[in-house]
Chain A
Amino acid sequence: MKPRITLLFVLCAPSVLAAADFDKDIRPLLQQRCVECHGEKKQKADLRLDTKPHAFKGGENGPAIIAGKSAESPLFKRISTTDKDEVMPPKGEPLTAAQVKLVKEWIDAGAIWPESDADKAAVVDKRLQHWAYLPIKRPANGNSIDDFITAKLSENKLSLSPPADPRTLIRRLYFDVTGLPPTPEELHSAIPNPNSEIEKLLSSPRFGEKWARHWLDVVRFAESDGFEMNRARANAWPYRDYVIKAFNDDKPFDQFIKEQLAGDAFNADAATGFLVGGGKDRVGSKDPVLTANQRADELHDMVSTTAATFLGITLNCARCHDHKFDPIPTKDYYGFIAMLQGVQHGERLWRERSETPQKVEEKQARPAVVAGLNEDKFAPTPARFVRFTITACSTGEPCLDELEVFNTNGENIARAAKVTVSGTFANGTNPKHKVEFLNDGRYGNDRSWISNQRGGGWAQLEFANTEQIDHVIWSRDRCGSCSQRFSDRLATGYHIDVSDDGKKWRTVSSDKGRTNSAPKGPQVYAGTFQTPGPTHRNHRGDPMQPREEVTPAVLSMIGKPLSLPANEPDQKRRIALANWIASPDNPLTARVIVNRLWHYHFGTGLVDTPSDFGINGSRPTHPELLDFLASELISHGWSLKHIHRLILNSKAYQQSSAFNEAAAKVDSNARLLWRFPPRRLEAEAVRDAMLAVSGKLDLTMGGPGFDLFVPNDNYVKVYVTKAEYGPAEFRRMVYQSKPRTMLDDFFGAFDCPDAGQPQPKRTSSTTPLQALNLLNSNFALQQSAFLAERLKKDAGDDAAKQIQRAFALMFQRDATADEVSASLALVKQHGLPALCRALYNSNEFIRLN
Chain B
Amino acid sequence: MNHLLHRRSFLQRSVTGLSSIALASLLKDDGLLASESPIRPLIDPARPYAPRAPHFAPKAKQVLMIFCSGALSHVDTWDYKPDLFKRHDTPMPGAGGLITFQGEQGNLIKPIRDFKPRGQSGKMISDLLPNIAELADDMCFIHSMTAKSNTHGPAENQMGTGYILDGFPSCGAWVTYALGSENQNLPAFVAIPDPRGVPQIGPRHWGSAFLPAAFQGTSFNAQKPIPNLARPGSISESTERATRDFLRRMNDKHLEQYPGDSDLAARISAYELAARMQLAAAEISDLSSESKATQDLYGVNDTNANKAGFAKNCIMARRLIESGVRFVQLFNGSYAMGEGVGNWDGHKKIHDQYAVHAPILDQPCAALIKDLKARGLFRDTLIVFVTEFGRMPTFQKGANGRDHNPKGFTVWLAGAGVKPAYSHGATDEFGYQAVDRVTTIYELHATMLHLLGLDHERLSFYNNGIERKLTDVHGRVIRDILA
Contact = CB atoms under 8 A, between A and B. Distances in A.
A482 interface: yes
A509 B267 CA distance: 68
Given A285-B102, A768-B277, A773-B228, A659 B48 contact: no
Contact of A41 (B36, B200, B203, B398): B36
A659 to B, nearest CB: 3
Given A741-B207, A742-B203, A754-B167, A286 B101 contact: yes
A743 B228 contact: no
Contacts of A659: 258-261
B255 interface: yes
Interface string A139-156: 000000000000000000
A314 interface: yes
A611 B462 CA distance: 11
A669 B8 CA distance: 9
Contact of B2 (A764, A775, A822): A764
Given A660-B260, A766-B46, 13 more contacts: A228-B200, A446-B338, A483-B339, A616-B465, A659-B260, A715-B336, A743-B207, A755-B167, A766-B45, A769-B216, A769-B218, A776-B229, A842-B251
Contacts of B254: 842-844
B35 A767 contact: no
Contacts, number: 311
Contacts of A714: 335-337
Contact of B464 (A285, A480, A758): A758
Interface in A389-435: none
Interface residues of B, number: 104
Contacts of B466: 314, 317, 612, 616
B51 interface: no
B207 A754 contact: yes
Given A36-B35, A740-B166, A767-B48, A841 B247 contact: yes
A757 B209 contact: yes
B2 A603 contact: yes
A283 B152 contact: yes
A718 interface: yes
A757 B464 contact: yes
A765 interface: yes
Specify the main secondary structure of chain A where it touches its partner: loop
Task: Assign chain A's interface to a size class.
Answer: 35 or more
Contacts of A715: 336
14 contacts: A227-B153, A228-B153, A228-B201, A614-B465, A617-B465, A677-B1, A757-B166, A763-B2, A764-B212, A767-B213, A773-B227, A781-B234, A829-B242, A847-B264
Nearest to B260: A659
Interface of B: 1-4, 6, 8-9, 12, 34-36, 45-46, 48, 99-104, 149-154, 156-157, 164-168, 187, 197-198, 200-204, 207, 209-216, 218, 226-232, 234-236, 238-239, 242-244, 246-247, 249-251, 253-255, 258-261, 263-264, 266-268, 270-271, 273-274, 277-278, 335-339, 345, 347, 396, 398-399, 462-466
Contacts of A750: 213
Interface stretch (A9-17, A287-295, A554-562): A287-295
Nearest to A743: B203
A749 interface: yes
A604 B480 CA distance: 46
A358 B12 CA distance: 66
Interface of A: 36, 41-42, 220, 226-230, 279, 281, 283, 285-290, 293, 297, 301, 308, 312-314, 316-317, 446, 480-483, 603-604, 609, 611-612, 614, 616-617, 658-661, 664, 668-669, 677-680, 714-716, 718-719, 721, 740-743, 745-746, 748-751, 753-773, 775-778, 781, 818-819, 822-823, 826, 829-831, 834-835, 837-839, 841-844, 846-847, 849
Please list the 6 inter-chain residue pairs (A to B) with the smallest Cβ-Cβ separation, ordered nearest first: A756-B167, A228-B153, A612-B465, A659-B260, A757-B167, A227-B153
Given A716-B336, A749-B216, A772-B278, A228 B166 contact: no
Contacts of A281: 151, 153-154
Contacts of B154: 227, 281
Contacts of A765: 4, 45, 48, 212-215
A719 B263 CA distance: 32
B339 A772 contact: no
A611 B9 CA distance: 25
Contacts of A483: 101-102, 151, 336, 339, 345, 347
Contacts of B151: 228, 281, 283, 285, 290, 483
A287 B258 CA distance: 61
Contacts of B45: 765-766
Contacts of B234: 781
A748 B213 contact: yes
